Each structure stands twice: as C-alpha cells, then as structure tokens.
Amino acid sequence: MALWPQIKECLSDANTLYFSHGFSIVYHDQTAIIPPENIDVVLVAPKGSGRTVRTNFLDGSGINSSFAIHQDYTGNAREKTLALGIAIGSGYLFPTTFANEVHSDLTGERGVLLGCLAGVMEAQYDLLRKNGHSPSEAFNETVEELTQSLIRLVAENGMDWMFACCSTTAQRGALDWAPRFKEAVTPVFDDLYKKVVGGEETKRVLDTNSAPDYRQKLDKELETMRDSEMWQTGATVRSLRPENRRK
C-alpha cells in the first residue's frame, strides 16, 4: 500500500499489473489502490503459503492456484494470466473473481486453515491436561497423529476415505460428533464471513500492521505461542520422530 504511488508511476499503456491476492483491489476504499484503466489487472493466487509455493516449485511438483481477471484492457489478459500461473508452477488453475478469492482466503486463514485449527487444538490439549493426561499424550492425540497420519489420508483420497481407513471406534465417534462440532462452530463462521465481506477484518489488518511497534507486538504473540507447554511439548515430540532421530 505504501509503495503504490511509486508502482503506479511506472505503469504504461497495455502493461499488466499482477496480484497474488485480491486484498488491495477489493478493499480499495481502505488501500487506495485503484489501477489506471489502460492496463490489464490480473490475479494468480497459489493455494498455499509462499514458502510452500517455492519449495514445491524447486521440487518440480508445483501447487494449484486460482486466477481472475479484474481488467482486460488489451484483450489478452486471460492468456497472460494463465501463462503466469504456469510459470509459478501451478499444476491446476481454476477461475474465480478478485472478490471471491479474497473473501474465501481471509475466511480460510482465520478459520480451518489457521485460526480455528490452532484454537481447537489448544482446547483439546488443555482438556486432556486438565484431566490428568501427560503433555506427551495430550500433544500426540491432538496434533501429532493428525499431522503425521490422518491428514495425509485426507490429502490422498478425501475425508470419507480417511474415515474408512480408521478403526471402527474412531469411525463411529467421528461420524457422531462431527455434526455437533459443525453446529457449534457455524455461528462463529457466520460472524467471521460477515466481518470479512464487510471489511472489518481488513481494517484490523491494516491498522495493526501499520503500527510502528507492529513487529515487536507480533514477536511477543508468537513467543507466547512458542513458549506454551503445548508447543514446547511439540518440539520435543518432533525431535523424537524416527526420521529426526536418525540425523
């Protein structure tokens, strides 16, 4: 946002302005980023972190991405966008809009992908510890089994296949409790999505990240998470994985 005036000065007729996220364009009333009309404005949004995009690119596997055209001045914006997607290693490109991309992405980050995941893990870990389970047992049953086994089965063939690969006790429990968890969190997700679409979440991001002490506060928040019993236990558990013990 701070660099937009300099970037805008460099744009010439028929140039292409490429985004990897819809934030700046969709919330232009907050970012003040409004591109000139004589350029193409496109988006390719990899469905993963920047670190994963780079790792997969170097590995030769790539990562799937969404793409969108906000402004097609030249008439060739779609072709250029697909070429950009292929260039960064996208194995599959699916169409979206700038608005849909940012609304789904901000919801996902705050929800299942990061915020909800971290919160649910902490809740279960705390419950097990409160009821006398050791740190190791609580972490293994909350995080390690998920990341090292179950989520890999989901990635291979889907949730139903993962359920089919579990024990009968796990299957029955999961099928019975999944609707209760869905019912419990649906109001939270409804509130989250409204705040994303309404711009409250982006305002918080911009206000917080623009503060002069942002980095210090962020480091403190991450330090609190890193130094918690749960994630200190996680560091120990990871060090005991067979592949790490061989190093």
Q: What is the DSSP string of 117-178?
A: HHHHHHHHHHHHHHTT--HHHHHIIIIIHIIIIIHHHHHHH-HHHHHHHS-HHHHHHHHHHH
**Per-residue tokens: 239:** 């060090």
Q: Please state, in angstroms and rounded to a whole number, the distance separating the CA atoms of residues 229 and 231.
A: 6
First to last CA, the chain: 44
Q: Please state, in angstroms and rounded to a whole number, the distance separating the CA atoms of residues 63 and 107.
A: 20
Q: Please state, in angstroms and rounded to a whole number, the distance separating the CA atoms of residues 67 and 82.
A: 8
Please tell me which residue in 21, 70, 103, 133 is annotated as part of the active site: 21
Q: Please state, in angstroms and rounded to a whole number, the distance separating the CA atoms of residues 108 and 174.
A: 22
Which alpha helices (H) appear in the chain, and where do they start and end? 4-10, 23-26, 28-31, 50-59, 77-87, 98-110, 115-130, 135-139, 145, 151-157, 159-165, 168-197, 200-209, 214-226, 229-239, 242-245
Answer yes or no: 133 catalytic.
no
Give phi and psi for 72, each to the nearest 5.
-115, 80
229, HSE (Cβ side, Cα atoms, 13 Å): 13
Q: Which residues are part of the catalytic machinery? A: 21
